[in-house]
């Protein structure tokens, strides 16, 4: 039996400009993901929703989430 985990992270109250900047900056990283990982970005109202899914090694999923959030933090700082 393989462990499957789904995580959603909501970034609320974003301007259209910031949401688009984050989405565009992270889009290239969403290519060639490892086989057991999935990452989606949705723009819902004034929020961006990051959806992560992982099967198997939970550490890989946690590392991926951490990396995406670190990149997002940098993007938010430079778009201020």
User: What is the share, in percent, of the chain residues with pLDDT greater than 70?
Assistant: 95
**Domain limits, the chain:** 4-78
DSSP 2-63: --EEEEEEEE-S--HHHHHHHHHHHGGGGSS--TTEEEEEEEETTEEEEEEEEES-HHHHHH
Confidence (pTM): 0.86
Span 41-71, pLDDT tens digits:
999 999 999 999 999 888 989 999 999 999 9
CATH 3.90.190.10 fits 4-78, yes or no: no
């Amino acid at each position: 039996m393989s462990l499957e985990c789904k995580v959603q992270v909501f970034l609320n109250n974003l301007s259209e400009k910031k949401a688009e900047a984050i989405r565009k900056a992270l889009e290239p990283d969403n290519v060639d993901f490892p086989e057991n990982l999935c990452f989606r970005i949705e723009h819902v109202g004034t929020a961006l929703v990051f959806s992560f899914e992982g099967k198997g090694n939970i550490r890989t999923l946690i590392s991926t989430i951490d990396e995406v959030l670190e990149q997002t933090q940098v993007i938010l700082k430079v778009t201020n």
